[in-house]
Amino acid sequence: MQIVLAIILGTIFGAVLYWVGASSPKKLIAMLRLEDLTLMKIIVFAIGFASVLLSVFSLLGWFNIGHLSVKAMNLGVVIGGLLFGIGFGTVETCPGTCVAAAGSGGAKKAISAILGGLFGAWLFSVTYGFWKNIGLFQTMDLGIHRLQWQKTPWALLSRPRNTALNSSLTARHQAASWNTPAP
């Protein structure tokens, strides 16, 4: 049943991509050159709408928001984003739109984008140990404190005035939470 649902949702997603023009290389390049922002506005709307739906589904108990995570910033993410952007601009398509573009006459570009992505993924997996050893994946937090959800309000204090008190309370909470299962 899940595969049928995936095929139905994928078909709807591809049809919407085609309908809004995201499968058109001309529209994609116009968006990247900031000449036509229509497609960018559609993307921003879709992100906002999906965020609202996730929040509503979470409140109704239909979706566990704990399954979502934010990727830590590291040099590998920066380099990967740059490579993705260069490939996006060069091939004039991205992985989400290349399949829709294949159905609308852009099969050569779609195949080259898919093969390039698969080759890049294979090359990365073969060389992963090297990149890890040179420190490419060490977190680059740049001194920024991230707020993480915990059961006590002490965790929300990023720069407390009374550091000794906060350290004591946080240490007590962590000691107590080690003995209890995560929410």
Residue 78's pLDDT is what?
84
Q: Higher pLDDT residue, 99 or 18?
A: 18
Q: Higher pLDDT residue, 31 or 138?
A: 31
Residue 164's pLDDT is what?
45
Binning pLDDT at 50, 70 and 90, where does residue 175 land? very low
Indicate the Cα dihedral angle 77, 82, 87, 89, nearest 10°.
140
pLDDT of 183 strictly over 80 = no
| CB burial of residue 97 (10 Å; 0-12, 13-18, 19+) | buried
Residue 126's pLDDT is what?
92
Mean pLDDT, all residues of the chain: 75
User: What are the extents of the domains in the chain?
Assistant: 148-175
pLDDT of 77 strictly over 50 = yes
Residues in contact with 111: Cβ distance below 8 Å, sequence separation at least 6, in sequence order: 102
Per-residue pLDDT tens over the stretch 85-106: 888 888 777 777 777 777 766 7
Per-residue pLDDT tens over the stretch 107-160: 787 788 888 888 988 998 898 888 888 877 777 655 454 544 444 444 444 444
